[in-house]
Structure 1
Amino acid sequence: MEKSILFYLLLAVPLATSFLAFGIKSRRVVEAVHFAGISIEAFLSLQMVQYVIREERLFALGDMLYADSLVAILLLIIGVVGFLNGFYSIGHMRYDISRGEIDEKEISSYYGFYHILLFTMVLCALSNNIAIMWVALEATTLGSAFLVGFYKHKASAEAAWKYVLICSVGLAFALYGTILTYSNAFAMVQDAHKAMLWTELIKMAPRLDQQVMKLAFVFILIGFGTKVGLVPMHTWLPDTYSESPSPVSALLSGVLMKCALFAIIKYYTIALQAIGKEFLETLLLIFGLVSVGVSAFFILVQKDIKRKLAYSSVEHVGIIATGLGVGGTFGVLGALLHAINHSVTKSLLFCTAGNVIVKYGTRDSQRIRGIFKVAPVTAFLWTAGLLALVGSPPFNIFISEVVTVIAGIEAGHFWAMILFLVLLVVVFVAFFVLISETVIGSPPEDLPKGDVNWLTLLPIGILFVFMAALGLHLPSTLSQLLQRAVTIVLGGTI
């Protein structure tokens, strides 16, 4: 396949699938179109990863579209995790229709907006132009807002409006950072096209004005940090994740969050060469530890299982920011690896939470008891996912957290890492209590026994395999991508 065509197909497939989905009235037909769309997109993403492994960097559309190892990691998350969340959506939406939660006629809108969101996320990943990347991230807010409020309850509608309002204000700050970066570069090269291209900004980064880039990065961190969910810009996130359909919560936390995170990493790469590491690392370490600390205690007191998982997303964004704040090869490696691990684990948990909610009809952990007795497969996946989420070996998150802590100690942040570990213990206690409350005990007497259907269990099972496998062995392809991505972030040759 021609490499430039692959760029266009990655964008065209979800866009075309969304248009088709909106126009189809039959549930079975739209499900088939949706499944075909996510399958093709996953295949194309893996194909792009293979091309990047062989050639290291690819361009298209006059250098406006670009792929390297850093981009390939994000595409891998979008393609694979987006496919599995989309697969889970089929079974979950059927349950919602059977319970009268939604009308069968509305299902076309759900799949249509799902693929619009995929399109905007892929555009964000592939954009070499920093202005288009900002536009794509803004578009993800508008596309996903319809999915957040899909149930049309008062609470979900309020969550959708809160999401749009806060994220749009946050992204306005990111726009200021984008404009400052562009004007700084344009003053140097007098070429509007080059001043917008990330690959060109990397080359000229050491010559950019330090004070302007400091201010630009602060705006970027506040702006895109709002979309990511860093404290104190996180206030929209618990409502949005808890009120969304479970596969949408999984997509927002597992995939969309990483798009904004990788945008921060791209600017971090430029700023690292322009102003040095001390300012950036201090800023990120503060935001990271505060995010972990605040979310840890909110997790401890929440009774709504989806809100617990939502605050956990804030915690894990804090862990990633802490890795970047620690800096150096192992700090950046820990951050990138944790982004992958969190995508897999949190998608598994939000989807499994969807099964639990379908079974018990509630999100209140105090009313959920004895999952193991009524749905043993769901109970196993729920327990494994929660243990993985708190960094228990031999699961994947344990590895990235250990790498982050080692990097922090080697960088001289001993007391910061002690605080970091204490906060992780608080989170461990909170989720261990959740496991003991929900999995063990006697279920309600009138609750029928048996797991939900294979359409919801199979994609979660695949996510479990990925979660366990990444804790035991890192595939050579992924290892190579991570090594190259770390080199790019730290200013190595692109």
Structure 2
Amino acid sequence: MEWINALLAVPFIVGVAFFFLTHMKTASFSTALHVTGLGLMLICSLNVVAAVLENGRIETWNHWIYADSLSAVFVGLIGIVGTLAGVYSIGYMNTELKEGHIDYRSYVYYHAFLHLFFGSMLVAVTTNNVILMWVAIELTTLTSAFLVGIYGHRTSLEAAWKYIIICSVGVAFGLYGTILTFSNANAVLHDSSQAIFWSVINGQAANLNPHLMYLAFAFIVVGFGTKCGLFPMHTWLPDAHSEAPSPASAVLSAVLLNCAMLIVLRYFILTAKAVGFDYPQALLLVFGLLSTGVSSFFIIMQHDIKRKLAYHSIENMGLISFAFGLGGPIGMFAGLLHTITHSLAKALLFCASGNILLKYRSRDIYYVSGMWKVMPWTAVLFAGGALALGGVPPFGMFVSEFAIVVAGITAGKTWWVIFCLIFLTIALSGLTIMLLKTVLGKPTEGVEAGEGSRLSVAVIAVYLLLLFAIGIYIADPLSQLLQNSVGIILGQDNVSFGDMLLLPWQTLQ
């Protein structure tokens, strides 16, 4: 209990503390506070995950906070991926401050809102209160909007306002779905005060009015799907992710989108118990395939590295939704695994794009050239991350995408899978073009050879190492978390994957 209390308190305490540092003109104390906050968040998140593995779930604050295996997957992502991105931001933001791209006040505010952003995401994935779920997702918008517009340029301010307006309007639909679910549960439960808690509603979900749940889940997919970046509510994402500082882009893409997807999954579970799996799976399948298809064509058209990566976020969130829509144990497992692998790959590439931007002062693939000579370590890691994102073995995304294909064939949706693979091939061609133009070729004139800070290169290397490790072997704690999470989604105590082999060396019992 103490670990989850500390996990939720630390980011907010650290974030508020930063607002008292604006009068100081040295970055060293801010860096120390930032590192302290990151370290505590990582330690607390890992201990929460360990506690969930040991006890099955954690429930505290009079049922307001609830963490099961499904929550633990996302808590772990925020803790690990978010901490690494925060460590990367030390060198990146110090360079931006030193070169005058931001002033000291903006530098302090960046760190303040980054930690508040972490805190709001942690609340979103651990709260048991369905209204607070919506509030927390709205809070992630407010805390991260400053990160998007931190530079104060016309394009970044426009992106920040577009992000606020579209997400606030979109997530309002999620509020309609939340209210419908709450009122539905209120009519079913004997104690109306308990109708606000997801775990209580889940226990009585089979008794919910199916007609209301049909409507509620449609609102949920549209509302929280906006924050996931699903088509056609995705238009804010390319602008916001490309205009934010690279470490903030990494957190937005690798962590935030997943938090909204967890809320969709929570309501998927309730809806499936009330009306069956066919309807919620069909919605996720259609929205997922449309998102993957539309974004794949935008990917090959982009010449801005960060916008190209942003459209890859839409593509992969669509692929995750598609996997959940395929259903069954394998589809749910594949969607959760792809959530993890996509987070690592996208955080890697956005951080690597930060190194590229600091060196070339451009994100244009027609200007950035010859990275293999200018910054060889970053070039190798950037190329490795792009190949991982494209689903090339032996990286983890190959395993998750292979599992999605198996899930589709198992579910009898072979044609859906074929169309999905065509879209993935188009997206892979966009990545290939980016690598050919940036990593290879003649070095850009006037750009001196040299890597960024060793710390930034090390962080990117850790991301790639984790992707490689998941591709080779899924560790027992992670395997257990995923298996338990699939059981929660399907409402089964003992989930069986049959004789399905993910790869010859990876078997799930």
Q: CA deviation at 1:188?
A: 0.8
What is the one-letter code of the residue matched to 2:51? Y
Deviation track 1:457-488 (CA, whole Å, cap 9, x = no partner) reads 12111111111111111111000000000000
**Does the 8 Å contact 1:23/1:108 carry over to 2?**
no
SS at match of 2:394: coil
Partner of 2:396: 396
Matched length: 491
5 Å-filtered alignment, 1:262-341, equals 262-341=262-341
Gaps of 5+ in 2: 495-509
Distance 2:486 2:480 in 1: 10
Which of 15, 26, 45 is the matching residue for 1:18? Answer: 15
The range that moved more, 309-318 or 446-455, is 446-455
**Does the 8 Å contact 1:81/1:347 carry over to 2?**
yes
SS at match of 1:365: coil
Q: CA deviation at 1:399?
A: 0.5
Distance 2:132 2:355 in 1: 37
Distance 1:238 1:366 in 2: 19
Q: CA deviation at 1:104?
A: 2.7
Distance 2:493 2:337 in 1: 21
Partner of 1:165: 165
Task: Please tell me whether residue 454 in structure 1 is matched to residue 451 in structure 2.
Answer: no
Partner of 1:39: 39
Distance 1:489 1:173 in 2: 23
What is the one-letter code of the residue matched to 2:329? T
What is the one-letter code of the residue matched to 1:321? S
Partner of 1:117: 117
Distance 1:193 1:238 in 2: 41
Deviation track 1:192-235 (CA, whole Å, cap 9, x = no partner) reads 33211111111111111111001000000000000010000000
Partner of 2:182: 182
Partner of 1:54: 54
Partner of 1:137: 137
Partner of 2:4: 7
SS at match of 2:59: strand
Distance 1:171 1:296 in 2: 25
Deviation track 1:53-84 (CA, whole Å, cap 9, x = no partner) reads 11101110111101110010010001111100
Partner of 2:499: none
**Does the 8 Å contact 1:305/1:365 carry over to 2?**
yes
Deviation track 1:102-160 (CA, whole Å, cap 9, x = no partner) reads 11332111110011101101111110111111101111100000111001100000000
**Looking at both structures, which has the greater relative contact order when contacts are Cα pairs under 8 Å and sequence separation is at least 6?**
1
Deviation track 1:151-205 (CA, whole Å, cap 9, x = no partner) reads 1100000000000000000110000000000000000114333211111111111
Q: CA deviation at 1:455?
A: 2.5
**Does the 8 Å contact 1:330/1:403 carry over to 2?**
yes
Distance 1:417 1:276 in 2: 23
Q: CA deviation at 1:328?
A: 0.5
Gaps of 5+ in 1: none
Distance 2:195 2:105 in 1: 47
Task: Please tell me whether residue 369 in structure 1 is matched to residue 369 in structure 2.
Answer: yes
The range that moved more, 97-106 or 137-146, is 97-106
Distance 2:384 2:19 in 1: 37
User: Taking structure 1 as the reference length, what is the TM-score of the superposition?
Assistant: 0.98
Distance 2:247 2:445 in 1: 29
What is the one-letter code of the residue matched to 2:452? V
Partner of 1:259: 259
Deviating 4+ runs (over 2 angstroms): 190-193
Q: CA deviation at 1:15?
A: 0.8
What is the one-letter code of the residue matched to 1:288? G
Distance 1:234 1:447 in 2: 35
What is the one-letter code of the residue matched to 1:271? T
Distance 2:246 2:169 in 1: 26
What is the one-letter code of the residue matched to 2:119? F
The range that moved more, 176-185 or 270-279, is 270-279
Distance 1:422 1:18 in 2: 44
Distance 2:353 2:345 in 1: 12
Root mean square deviation, CA, Å: 1.0
Distance 2:71 2:281 in 1: 22
SS at match of 1:59: strand
Partner of 2:148: 148
**Does the 8 Å contact 1:374/1:448 carry over to 2?**
yes
SS at match of 2:195: helix
What is the one-letter code of the residue matched to 1:13? V
Q: CA deviation at 1:444?
A: 2.0
SS at match of 1:66: strand
Partner of 2:426: 426
Distance 1:445 1:129 in 2: 56
SS at match of 2:212: helix
Q: CA deviation at 1:28?
A: 0.6
Partner of 2:485: 485
What is the one-letter code of the residue matched to 2:403? V
Distance 2:238 2:283 in 1: 24
What is the one-letter code of the residue matched to 1:80? I
The range that moved more, 333-342 or 102-111, is 102-111
5 Å-filtered alignment, 1:179-258, equals 179-258=179-258
Q: CA deviation at 1:98?
A: 2.3
Distance 2:127 2:244 in 1: 28
Task: Please tell me whether residue 346 in structure 1 is matched to residue 346 in structure 2.
Answer: yes
**Does the 8 Å contact 1:305/1:363 carry over to 2?**
yes
Distance 2:445 2:248 in 1: 31
